[in-house]
Chains A and B, each alone.
Chain A
Amino acid sequence: MLRVPPGAETGRYRAFATRCQPLTVETGLPFLGTISFMPVCLQAEKLEKRYGAVTAVDGLSLSINEGEVFGLLGPNGAGKSTTLYMLCGLVAPTAGSVSLFGRDLHEHFIELMGRVGVLTERPAFYNHLSVRRNLQLLAMLGDKDVNIDRALDRVGLIKYAGRHVGTLSHGMRQRLGIAQALLAEPELLILDEPTAGLDPESTQEILRLLRFLADEAKVTILFSSHQLAEVEALCDRVGVINQGKLVSCEEVENLLSYDQSQVDVLVDSPEAASKKLSEQAWVKSAEMNKGRVRVVLDGGTVHQLTAFLVSGGYKLSGVMPRQRTLQEYFLKVLNR
């Protein structure tokens, strides 16, 4: 669980000014009353990218609400980065459209990119300039006043502000990349593997920061990652891309719910219990797993299972329905 340290209202966790507010609609109906919802921040319609005979992205449609954190998963070469780069104008789509904040990206590029922070894979800077100078030059291309020190402090690089970028480690460059994405306090963040190359402590810090920004300033975050644990911890929704197509899109809360058909049982004689259970028609499988019995029910219920074990004379220490994991969902979606 990502928790922001105490006293987080100052320093690196000082939130951006909250810009987006929920839309409210008065329905006039007694049972509905007032409905409030967050407007759509990012909308991609039937995006395609073809390189000759190769289709990198194939008819991808995606909609992300303001204030939402959306994770994009997929195997290597699935089209995650290509999708992200089409959404921020680095790659031109072969077909389809991209809208940010309700406006077409290509028609209103200047206005929209002032509200978006982007982190590309392996961000590159001007090695002969200092960290601070690099951010100053990038900030000049926007029309907002920015606080360079605050951006560096947010990612823990304030004491390296005077160092040449060429002397930074890979992890520090990655953090600098995040700092430049946060520079103009954007309303939308598009991040390509934001924690790549970071040590575990820095990874947690960055994820905590992103979650804080999403919760407090309602920053919309779209990011791609190979790290399922990060996506689980940070995201509201997750989409899986495979071979250029968005094959699935689910709320993380639903994906991580408890599966009542899969139960871990702690008994005094797990081997005997698993053997007995395997013979039951209402049990699909019952296997030993690190001292406990992992039972997959086939029509049976947890109540039926506990009753069977108790009546069989087994001493029951615990019955735990298994929580689904993102990895299971991911592999299932990819049919692996």
Chain B
Amino acid sequence: MIGRIATAYQIELIKAFRSKLSYVGPILAILLVLMTPLLHPLRGDGENAYRFIAFATPTALNVLGLFLVLSFCASLISGETGTGSIRLVFTRPILRHEFVIAKLLIGFTYAITVSLLVAITAWAIAFAFGSASGVEFGGEMLFTSGAMLRAYLLGFALHLAPQFAFVSYAVMISSFMKSNAASVITSIGIWLLLDAVKYPLGISPMLFATYVDTPWEIFRAQADGLTLEWGDKVYWCLGTSLVAATIFSIAAIVTIHRRNFHG
């Protein structure tokens, strides 16, 4: 099974590399980060550089990045169902749940790639126009560059949990649909709708999307010269994301497993 999933994932990678559309998202994300200095001008000190990174990374990832991930992942299965190429795949020696797992993996790869490009671009700009020193206040070093890097890496790792939940959610919607457009619109539409009603309905603590900013709180606080401890929110972030990812992934697998693929 692992071998077949690896092969299917390799096929997805080849298809993605050879599709021009795959590059649109990452390029847009990099462009957004490149334009962020217009909103958050850079000076030559370390504190300002880290504040820039703390602003640029979540802005790019949580505003544009999520749309990009949803758009890419929501067309992973619906595109193949709509064209009919999925029937060629399912007459080959591969099980349907292996196919869906490979789709989840390529979706997650895409999300990580966009995140990495945003992170690298933000740090490159910050240190090209700012300073690599740590965060100082009144001549006192509050957080060294190493501590800032560790906080960022921890935030980056944590933010992958809600990313994977978004990937799974979009792949699940994609498994329901036969049209890319319908799948993308539905996945974005439901997300925006829930975002609008989550507080009035009191369901915000249970939605993983509520916690997309949580992974960056420590780094942001340290960039401002403040010390912050991880609270319950990080556990809610991880818990809701992992539960959601599990439920959505299983739903996608069951949907494809039960579907009939006629002409």
- A residues contacting B by CB (< 8 A) are 81-82, 85, 88-92, 109-111, 113-114, 116, 118, 120-129, 133, 137-138, 140-143, 180, 192
Contacts and interface: CB of A to CB of B under 8 A. Distances in A.
A141 to B, nearest CB: 4
B231 interface: no
10 contacts: A90-B90, A91-B261, A92-B260, A109-B93, A110-B4, A110-B94, A113-B92, A123-B84, A125-B85, A141-B92
B95 interface: yes
Interface residues of B, number: 27
B262 A113 contact: no
Interface stretch (B6-14, B126-134, B208-216): B6-14
Contacts of A122: 84, 263
A138 B83 CA distance: 16
Contacts of B92: 113, 138, 141-142
B95 A81 contact: no
Contact of B90 (A89, A111, A129): A89
B93 to A, nearest CB: 4
Contacts of B91: 88-90, 113, 116, 118, 120
Contacts of B261: 85, 90-91
A215 B260 CA distance: 34
Contacts, number: 84
Interface string B68-89: 0000000000000001110111
B225 to A, nearest CB: 50
Interface string B3-46: 01001101100110011100000000000000000000000000
Contact of A81 (B4, B15, B263): B263
Contacts of B263: 81, 85, 120-122, 192
Contact of B93 (A90, A110, A126, A128): A110
A230 to B, nearest CB: 19
A92 B84 contact: no
Nearest to A139: B92
Interface of B: 4, 7-8, 10-11, 14-15, 18-20, 83-85, 87-95, 258, 260-263
Contacts of A133: 14, 18
Contact of B88 (A111, A114, A125): A125
A121 B85 CA distance: 11
B260 A91 contact: yes
Given A116-B91, A133-B14, 14 more contacts: A82-B262, A85-B261, A89-B91, A90-B91, A91-B262, A92-B260, A111-B93, A113-B93, A120-B91, A122-B263, A140-B7, A140-B10, A141-B7, A142-B93
Nearest to B14: A137
A129 B18 contact: yes
A110 B8 CA distance: 14
B89 to A, nearest CB: 7
Nearest to A130: B18
A110 B260 contact: no
Contact of A124 (B20, B84, B94): B84
Nearest to B85: A124
Contacts of A121: 263
Contacts of A81: 262-263
Contact of A114 (B11, B18, B93, B95): B93
B87 A140 contact: no
Candidate in B88, B95, B263 with the most chain A CB atoms within 10 angstroms = B88
B262 A138 contact: no
B23 to A, nearest CB: 13
A141 B261 CA distance: 19
Contact of A85 (B7, B89, B94, B262): B262
Nearest to A120: B87
B93 A141 contact: yes
Nearest to A192: B263
Given A82-B262, A124-B88, A143 B93 contact: yes
- Listed from nearest, the 8 A-B pairs whose CB atoms lie closest are A124-B84, A121-B263, A118-B91, A141-B92, A91-B260, A114-B93, A113-B93, A124-B85
A332 to B, nearest CB: 28
Given A126-B15, A133-B18, A141 B94 contact: yes
